[in-house]
Homo-oligomer: A and B are copies of this chain.
């Protein structure tokens, strides 16, 4: 599919970021936006790039990550359809601190800064949505920092599973990993090997069941106990 397809205002209204906007404003944004399709593994944004607008992910999935000079990768977020990125660097006019790459072929919409600021002026509610969306992101980041700095690998793993389970529409006992175990491990700031070991340790204790990229939570209470820090010493196998 070629770039530059027209965007339907109705579709736009379904994106969380634009929900609640008046028809006229949706039309304005839709007209100024453009569609971009990327293949798996393609890079959408590199560290240092300037970006004069923001992206909304329409389908597929993206990872947002940082790299060490040595080439080590640390995934910050995996984006799902409906998520947006670029707000911070757009408003602040700074070069991007992160890389963005698609995990599966994806379709994005790009909206230039002008149309966003234009609508910000016209619709005070949009200001609110935007501020709230950024507050959300910030909250996420703080949680990530907290998770990765205060807890050990086992606790981070458990936290992740519980957060995922609670975030689901109906708090479910089944967690679907949004990407390969290696990517999730990187989000949790541990090596793929450690992640694998911790998951299997949980399975050995009967707390979860691993089935490819789906994790069944067998005992939520047991997991919560662990997350709180009841660090049993490593059980000899």
Binding site for B on A (CB under 8 A): 66-70, 72, 74, 76, 87-92, 94, 97-98, 117, 120-121, 124, 127-128, 130-132, 134-139, 141-146, 148-151, 189, 228-229
Copies in the complex: 2
Known: A68-B229, A69-B229, A145-B148. A135 touches B91 (CB 8 A): yes
The CA-CA distance from A7 to B120 in the complex, in Å, is: 30
Q: Is the CB of A88 within 8 A of B139?
A: yes
User: Residue on B with the closest CB to A97?
Assistant: B142
Chain A at the B interface: SS class: helix
Q: Is the CB of B146 within 8 A of A74?
A: yes
Q: Is the CB of B74 within 8 A of A149?
A: yes
Q: Is the CB of A142 within 8 A of B66?
A: yes
Q: Is the CB of A136 within 8 A of B68?
A: no
| Contacting residues, chain B, for A141 (C-beta < 8 A) | 138, 141-142, 145
| Contacting residues, chain B, for A137 (C-beta < 8 A) | 138
B117, B131, B229: the one within 8 Å of A91 (CB) = B131
Looking at the assembled complex, report how far the CB atom of A146 sits from the nearest CB atom of chain B, in whole angstroms: 5
| Contacting residues, chain B, for A142 (C-beta < 8 A) | 66, 76, 97-98, 141
Instruction: Count chain B CB atoms within 10 A of each CB in A127, A148, A189 and give the residue with the most.
Output: A127
Instruction: Count chain B CB atoms within 10 A of each CB in A72, A142, A148, A228 and give the residue with the most.
Output: A142
Looking at the assembled complex, report how far the CB atom of A149 sits from the nearest CB atom of chain B, in whole angstroms: 5
Q: Is the CB of A92 within 8 A of B135?
A: yes
Q: Is the CB of A87 within 8 A of B144?
A: no
Closest 5 CB pairs of A and B: A92-B135, A68-B150, A88-B135, A141-B141, A91-B135
| Contacting residues, chain B, for A144 (C-beta < 8 A) | 145
The CA-CA distance from A124 to B130 in the complex, in Å, is: 14
